[in-house]
Amino acid sequence: MIDKLRAVAAHISEFNSKVADEARFIRANYGIKKSEQDSVSFDGALEEGISIPVNGTKINGKVCAVDSGLLSSELHGIDIAVCRPACSCFSYSNSKVVSSDYFPSRVPESVIDVRIGLDHSEAQIFRQLFRLEQEISCAISVAEKLHPNILFLDGSILPLPSDRPGAESELSSLYSELIHSYVRLYSICEKEKILLIGLSKDSRGRRFVDSIKPHLSSRASDAVFLNHLLAARERTFSMSYSQFPKKHLILRDIGISDLKVAGGSNFADKLNLFYIKCVEGDYPLRVEFLSYSGTGASAVAPIVLSLSAINKNYAYPAVLIDADLKAMLDPLELERVQKALMDLSPNSIRQMRRNARPFR
């Protein structure tokens, strides 16, 4: 075993060394535009230059963050999901927190949903759609009732392709409602001039490395590659959300819903992203944002930097950390729900065999 682990560790070290060498080469040759002749175009890039310095800014106004906790369980033929959406809202004056508020409350209640007859893949999609619907519905209420200047989502500002059920799935209507909710959130934020930002702290995306693929040979994720390429307080150029937006199923669904919900606002073309390394001791953050007048990367990046650079080894906004804590669920809550269902219908609900065996 130890020999195998040594070999794996050596392979990882070799891989990281190769990624670091390629990052240094890219930075030296393409990092700074020297002249029109030297400029290099990258797929989907909305700005020139690979490594762009970022300065902090004073934070004033109301900054809200929405997150959700999720627990799920399987019984025979039944899927149970328990979700707790939560919002923390900090009011800043000259970059100092002067007050805080919470939505729907400081100790939010959990929401329960139960589905019958889903296959294994549908059960996974159901859990994600349920969580996202609760989270985005909470964000909509926050935007309408608390009127923040900045609204953070934990993770992406778009569902993932893996969250999309098949056309014949009974979850299609739930997915359609979710897409409508996203478009409604975008519409409110644009109308009310709310800066909508999604932060992914542990992104495994490859949007950036795909955009510069002709200059790379390694298969590193964006965060791993950019950890070597970017210095602290630097960001990448901003990019369109997808390298191939017309082929991206979620963006296509957003575009269709735009016509139905928001009168053709074309939000699918307004979702952009960049990566930023806020502190030396942590990996870059993936920053997704809704772009409208005055909300380009040059406006978003200083805000993210100022709110995230709170520890030399951990970069994340305090308001999102607080929302995560408020959304956290105790596993006992799921056990209580499961037990109550079994007690109320003892002849119809049974545990999965793997959880009911009398021996180990």
- Residues whose CB is less than 8 angstroms from the CB of residue 336 and which lie 6 or more positions away in sequence, other chains included: none
Q: Which domain holds residue 236?
A: 52-341
Model pLDDT for residues 8-54, shown as the tens digit of each residue: 888 888 888 888 888 888 888 876 544 443 445 677 788 888 889 99
Model pLDDT for residues 289-313, shown as the tens digit of each residue: 999 877 789 999 999 999 998 888 9
**Is 41 inside a domain boundary?**
no
**Is 1 inside a domain boundary?**
no
Number of domains composing the chain = 1
**Is 359 inside a domain boundary?**
no
pLDDT above 90: residue 246: no
Q: How far apart are CA 185 and CA 141, in angstroms?
A: 9
**Is 103 inside a domain boundary?**
yes
**Is 273 inside a domain boundary?**
yes
What pLDDT, on the 0 to 100 scale, is given for residue 44? 77
> For 319-338, what is the mean pLDDT?
89
**pTM for this structure?**
0.89
**Is 350 inside a domain boundary?**
no
Higher-pLDDT residue of 318 and 358 is: 318
- The DSSP call for residue 110 is P
pLDDT above 90: residue 356: no
CATH number of the domain that residue 74 is part of? 3.30.2170
**Is 194 inside a domain boundary?**
yes
- Residues whose CB is less than 8 angstroms from the CB of residue 323 and which lie 6 or more positions away in sequence, other chains included: 65, 66, 67, 86, 87, 88, 152, 154
**Is 46 inside a domain boundary?**
no
Q: Provide φ and ψ at 203, rounded to 5°.
A: -65, 140
What pLDDT, on the 0 to 100 scale, is given for residue 95? 93
